[in-house]
Amino acid sequence: MKKNMLIAGLVYVLIGIGFLLCGIFLDTKLNSLFWGFAGGGIAPGLTMIYRYFYWTRPQNTTKYAEKMEEEKINLHDERKEKFRNLSGRYAYLLGLITICISIVVFSVLSSLGIMQNAKILILYLGAYAAFQYIAGILIFRHLDKKY
């Protein structure tokens, strides 16, 4: 296992501890975010450190080599690559549909007076939908020219 995993784990833990200290010593409205970021940094960091030490033990090196070989095969398998591409496309389309439906729902709720100040949310979702659509087109064009 690469030493980068250990370094990244240590960086995650240090950042998590920094957020933990902010959550403990600062009294702001952001304390809940600090606690969440602390947990989001410390837990994965400790997991990464544990995995590094687990896989670098001498008795686990052969299992790790087998695991990496299988992962390498899975990453370059044409069938699985095609499925990953299709799943990404379906997720992209589903996200666009969800955003458009959300715009309609929030517009109706705003018109009925159930939701106040929904205009900013509707404008944000509309801008996000346009961004997603345009980004999808631009990325496709770039990849089409590249390959």
Find the DSSP H helices in 2-118: 3-25, 31-55, 61-76, 78-111
What residues contact 133, with CB distance under 8 A and at least 6 apart?
96
pLDDT tens per residue across span 80-110? 889 989 999 999 999 999 999 999 999 999 9
Q: What type of residue is 106? A: F
Dmax (CA) of the chain: 67
To the question of pTM greater than 0.75 for the whole model, the response is no
Q: Which two tokens stand for residue 52?
A: 């590094």
Do 52 and 9 meet the contact criterion of CB atoms below 8 Å apart? yes
Counting residues of the chain whose pLDDT is more than 90, the rounded percentage is: 82
